[in-house]
A and B are shown apart, each in its own frame.
Chain A
Amino acid sequence: MLFALILVPFFASVLVAAVGVRRPRVAPWLAGLAALACCALLAVAAPAVFSGAVLRSAVPWFAGVDVALRMDGLAFTFALLVCAIGALVVLYAAYYLSPDDPPGRFFASLLAFMGAMLGVVLAGDLIVLVVFWELTSVTSFLLIGFWKHRADARQGARMALAITGGGGLCLLAGVLLIGHIVGSYDLDRVLAAGDLIRAHPAYVPALVLVLLGAFTKSAQFPFHFWLPHAMAAPTPVSAYLHSATMVKAGVFLLARLYPALGMSEPWFYLVGTTGLVTMVLGAAVALFQQDLKGLLAYSTISQLGLITLLFGLDSRLAVVAGVFHLLNHAAFKASLFMAAGIIDHEAGSRDMRQLNGLWKTMPITGTLAIVACGAMAGVPLLNGFLSKEMFFAETLFVESHRAIEWVVPVAATVAGLFGVAYSLRFIHDVFFNGEPVGLPRTPHEPPRWMRAPVEVLVVVCVVVGVLPTLAIGPLLAVAAGGALGGPLPEYSLALWHGFNRPLLMSALATAGGVALYFGLQRWIDLHSVTRLPVGGKHLFDAALGGLQRLADAATRVLPFGSLPRMLVWLLLAVLFAAGWHGVVPPLAAPPLRVPALGPDDAALAEIAIVVWTLAIATAIAATVTYRQRFTALIFVGVTGLMVSLVFVLLSAPDLALTQLLVEVVTVMLMMVVLHFLPQSAPAEPSPWRKWRDAAIAAAAGLGVTGIVYAVLTRPLSSISPFYLARALPEGGGTNTVNVIIVDFRGFDTLGEIAVLGIAALIVHALLGRFRVPAGYLTGTATPDWNPLLVRTVAQSLLPLAALVAAYLFLRGHNLPGGGFAAGLVFAAAIVVTRVAGPVTGSGPMSTAYPSVIGAGLLVACATGLGSAWFGHPFLTSTFAHPVLPIIGELPLASAALFDLGVFLAVVGATLLALLVPGLLADPPADAAGPGATP
């Protein structure tokens, strides 16, 4: 049944939205029916609740969270408030909306809000509560912004959502903390765990977060400013959301969580102070409003402050008084809002400077408004009087510091005084005080049924005021019982308690209020007050502006836009992280191992110093001469050669050989490419940038040095012994590097030569059909394009190189060499021959290279698949050492065949990469060759 209670409004909302477009007249009927249905459901539940039972129902939902609903007295009372006032508001709105307004959207949003609000009050689980809480913010956003053509409505809607939605997020965080403390989000368990929560170190953060949620929703200072701006909403919305229900969600939350979070020092100070300040401030500001709804909004803020203060007073009796006032306020404030709406509707203005003397034209509405205002001011025989008396009484029982004991009742009286004054202003300014000033319409009484909801509510005010025990006694008892979660304190709802101090305070407030209003009327023109210094709006705007400026600044400074700066940022971030986590602690610790030099090392050390010096010097030279690209390239080449020498020194001949060859081929490739680029690099725009880049480079270099140092001085277990031990017995070769390449990690190598082939093919695809226009390479063509000497030497070089390649290839498995090195040697020799040879447009030749690459890949794959033939996994290798005549023992391994594939692929790829760009220099067919041009 509890689920039905929540689902009815939501379903009705969807239905109304669907139907409302076609049949606008049906929408209010459907909405009203839904509200009444909810009331009926509540009536069914009433006997159980009044007998003290707590209705529960739950369905599993989300890891560890149930959609739990729970109806105790407090929830029932609130649900009744939501449904009953909802029904009245629907009736009222049916007359209020103009024909231009889409009723479908309005009633759908209103019903969705009603469902959400019912969800908040009936939630049996804190997460469910937060969910519905946010939903009320969202639906209220839609309702405030209902008149979307109005700028103030849009701004008000957005502000309300920003404040209350943000508060909802804080509430979520608070709820999560509570759940963390209690171990459950279930309301029953949370309410029972009050002592546990209060003793927990996370209690204060949790409390603050929950209170932020409650205060934003209930428009407490300093978050109160959204409520006056929300008055841009249609008046039924203001009556429903911004007086009777949604803003009450905050104080409802205080009541709901009072057993879990209340009864502590932080609660008293936080809740009490906020309530006190809001109450006095709101009341004072309300008096100086010109807008009728503005006055009601600030009075709502003040009254909510009063209720908050009551909960903050932290006595059980104060909680009862708080719940009581909450109900009373809902009745009289909703009726006042509706009355204000009627006035606005029939007179065309809400400005109290224009509205005067309406008594003559609207006597019935006037009477109703006067009674409701009386309730607001706390006039005896009306409901507001009773709860206000209780409030005054409670302020006198505060037990705390002397100053506080004194301040609270005084503040209460002052707020009461202002309350009387603004109530009086409402009555006097609107219904009396002369004649109307320039009203757009001639005021008259509203339709019969539009006034009916106001009449109902005013009757409630009077009945409760006259016969409190009968009319509201049982409901208040169950509601307060639900809020306190325990036995009720002694209280009496009687009208007359004798002459006591609360009565005195009441009298003071009433007399003072009347005096204040008429005094102010006389001394200053209340109508001329248009600007008030109070209001958080400018704070809100300032905060938003600050956020926007911060965002702009962050956009300007942070994402950089330029690639070099992004790279710098990336590098520095990594270096910082690495430095923080890795370098700083190890460097701070003493080095564990200093590499010691043996006698052999000492001899080598001198050579090493020379080699390193040369390497560093050429690297610096390359940096300095970087603008002359060819010069710099030669220096880079020398650095590379020095590095290969370093490998020799470190007993890695294979690596040295490969490095040497790669270096040669790379320099050749770059020579070819540089041909097409300007000969010198552009200058740096400013010396500052140069120094900045130098600093970054130095930082990066030092960072890497630090890492290397840190790693080298730690004990390091290397995997080299593993391969050294297994190369010969398992791979059949003594050259461990080669065995690793072609055998142990043959799969990797296969992948690598495939990548090499693909890269070469891409070069082919991109540049194959491209020719440099004639005349582009001016200055490079000279008569000794191909001197005879070079040509002759190159021709004899080829067979020699082929022999070396074959030698390197064959010995590769045992001694430095291998397919990769052999391929590079062979390819380099061919390139030299081609470059030295007569230049002819030799397109067809280039198409042969892809075939060579393909052949290499095929050979490699076939070798791998060969092992499958013998039932072994792909690329399993085998070896034999047959003894041949003349040559002697020949180490043969299947891996050598694989190496052949590597050889072919390397030759093909290198030639393709080097020669295809070289061909670009070829003269077009119709132009004279460079050799012929003088």
Chain B
Amino acid sequence: MTHALLPVLPEAVLLAAACTVLLLDLFLPPSRRHWSFWLTQATLLACAAITVATAELQPLHAFGGLVVDDMLSDFLKLLSCVAVSTMLFYSRGYLAVRGLFRGEVLVLTMLALLGMMVMISAASFLTLYLGLELLALCLYSMVAMHRTSNAASEAAMKYFVLGALASGMLLYGMSMVYGATGSLDIHRIARVIHAGQGNGTVLLFGLVFVVSGIAFKLGAVPYHMWVPDVYHGAPTAVTLLIGTAPKLAAFALTLRLLGVALAGLEFDWQGMLIVLSLLSMVLGNVTAIAQTNIKRMLAYSTIANMGFMLLGFLAANLAGYSAAMFYVVAYVLTSLASFGVVMLLAREGFEADRIEDFRGLNQRSPWWAFIMLLVMFSLAGVPPTLGFYAKFAVIEAAVGAGFIWLAVAAVLASLVGAFYYLRVVKVMYFEDAVDTTPIVARGDNRALLSANGLALLLFGILPQPLMGLCVVALAQSGFL
């Protein structure tokens, strides 16, 4: 019994801790709120530790095949824990100043993480969907958390309605696949399709809806319309959450759905992903140029980046999947730092979310300007930052799979992209500061953000360990 539960131990701990914090926070006076915070952090640490300690090379199935504990899920879960923990450190001051630092945030964040973890280790459509919805519901409510902000309420409303519709589509697609193959288990579905027993038409319809649902969750064009409004409207802390760890889970979702269950329909979904990827890269990058709000700009950058991720993914082989995974990991790391800096500059009554708010940052603080410079270079794909290798890996995977023109288009798109990232650099370094308020932040926040920024450089110079982990995790999980 205990052994059977071992694969879901991190999830179980997380759930228990979320309930505990929920109750504990009811009885804590606001001055003791940090107890909840540190309990949450301890839980995240414990989850990460358990994930590492119970990691095994061979995939382990539990709950009658509903969940799988393989290297891939261990790796992604670990990263999700780290990302969420970092996000909480970054957001603490930001939320406290706005009166949002309450137990709900911590509980919702933990439950969202639970949703991600369920998604990551799902081996059945049922668990996949369950995790997805848990994550989405937490995010919807977190976007709406800032109840006095009109923008946040509007964003939450749009996110919820569109998200519900997209979930419906995904579910519709899943049920069609179920109808065509008679199974919800991703491996069994793969076998049925491989044996040519599935109903072709129904499968293809199912695939269209599944891909639409996935594209929505990733924010790929033309299913991207929620991204800018939600990124912009949500409190930056929540934007940070949405823009980071869930991308890992979304990658897992894509991989389990397309890479495993529907692998037999590779040629069909490749075509769809080419369109999604190309549109995302071009439209995301072009539209980002016109943005004056950095959160909105980063939202379009997300769209473009997800296009790049799909570029690697659609190669549909180990090289492609690992490149896409590396890309997502790199993106999450970069995204954490970017919103981290935005929140660092924000203070009471000031969001620091316009590009002009970064004016002369170099004069105010050369160090944070340098960190932001690394972030922007990484996003633009300038060596030797992490972003360069990520882009390199996906483009190489696409070339390797024979999508040469797509790869060339990707390069041109990133050329356009470099333009608006460098605008931020220009504003920071070459313009005079208007605002000379000193930047204050907690020590842990400063240390972590510095480490995060430098990691972009470090992993940029030595990408092999990270790339190796991606490859090994995928290879051990059956993607050969």
Report A's interface with B, CB cutoff 8 A.
Answer: 60-63, 127, 130-132, 134-135, 137-138, 145, 148, 153-154, 157-158, 161-162, 165-166, 169-170, 172-173, 176-177, 179-180, 202, 205, 209, 544, 547-548, 550-552, 554-555, 558-561, 563, 566-567, 569-571, 573-574, 577-578, 581-582, 586, 707, 710-711, 714-719
Contact = CB atoms under 8 A, between A and B. Distances in A.
B283 A558 contact: yes
Contact of B414 (A169, A567, A570, A718): A169
Interface string B406-424: 0110010011101100100
Nearest to B432: A149
B396 interface: yes
B416 A138 contact: no
Contact of A577 (B208, B289, B399, B426): B208
Nearest to A713: B201
B395 interface: yes
A205 B200 CA distance: 38
Contacts of B165: 567, 570-571
B202 to A, nearest CB: 6
A170 B212 contact: no
A547 B417 CA distance: 11
Given A560-B225, A582-B205, A582-B208, A570 B290 contact: no
Contacts of B209: 574, 578
Given A162-B422, A577-B211, A547 B286 contact: yes
B199 A148 contact: no
A558 B291 CA distance: 13
Interface in B211-245: 211-212, 216, 222-226, 228-229
B430 A551 contact: no
A714 B198 CA distance: 12
Contact of A551 (B179, B290, B381, B384): B290
30 contacts: A61-B463, A62-B389, A130-B383, A131-B384, A134-B382, A134-B388, A138-B377, A162-B418, A162-B419, A166-B418, A180-B400, A180-B404, A209-B411, A547-B289, A551-B289, A555-B290, A558-B225, A559-B224, A559-B287, A563-B157, A566-B225, A567-B162, A569-B225, A573-B223, A574-B209, A578-B205, A578-B208, A707-B205, A711-B205, A719-B179
B479 interface: no
Nearest to B154: A563
Nearest to B227: A559
Contacts of B179: 716, 718-719
B407 to A, nearest CB: 6
A379 to B, nearest CB: 42
CB-CB nearest 7 A-B residue pairs: A551-B290, A551-B289, A131-B383, A173-B411, A154-B430, A566-B225, A554-B287
A581 B223 contact: no
Nearest to A161: B422
A786 to B, nearest CB: 39
Contacts of B226: 566
A180 B405 CA distance: 13
B395 A173 contact: yes
Contacts of B288: 551
B204 interface: yes
Contact of B382 (A138, A555, A574): A138
Nearest to B212: A574
B54 interface: no
Nearest to A581: B208
Contact of B212 (A130, A179, A209, A573): A573
A73 to B, nearest CB: 27
A559 B430 contact: no
Contact of A717 (B199, B393, B407): B199
B268 interface: yes
Contacts of A717: 182, 199
B158 interface: yes
Given A573-B222, A574-B212, A718-B179, 16 more contacts: A130-B383, A157-B430, A158-B426, A165-B382, A172-B392, A176-B399, A180-B400, A548-B289, A559-B228, A566-B158, A570-B162, A577-B211, A578-B205, A582-B201, A716-B199, A717-B199
Contacts of A157: 426, 430
B115 to A, nearest CB: 15
A280 to B, nearest CB: 29
B84 interface: no
Interface stretch (B70-78, B336-344, B346-354, B464-472): B464-472
A209 B415 CA distance: 13
A552 B467 contact: no
Nearest to A716: B199
A132 B204 CA distance: 46
B254 to A, nearest CB: 16
B429 interface: yes
B229 A561 contact: yes
Nearest to B165: A570
B382 A586 contact: no
A593 B400 CA distance: 43
Given A165-B382, A563-B158, A555 B291 contact: yes
A615 to B, nearest CB: 22
B272 interface: yes
A714 B202 contact: yes
A711 to B, nearest CB: 6
B272 A63 contact: no
B12 to A, nearest CB: 16
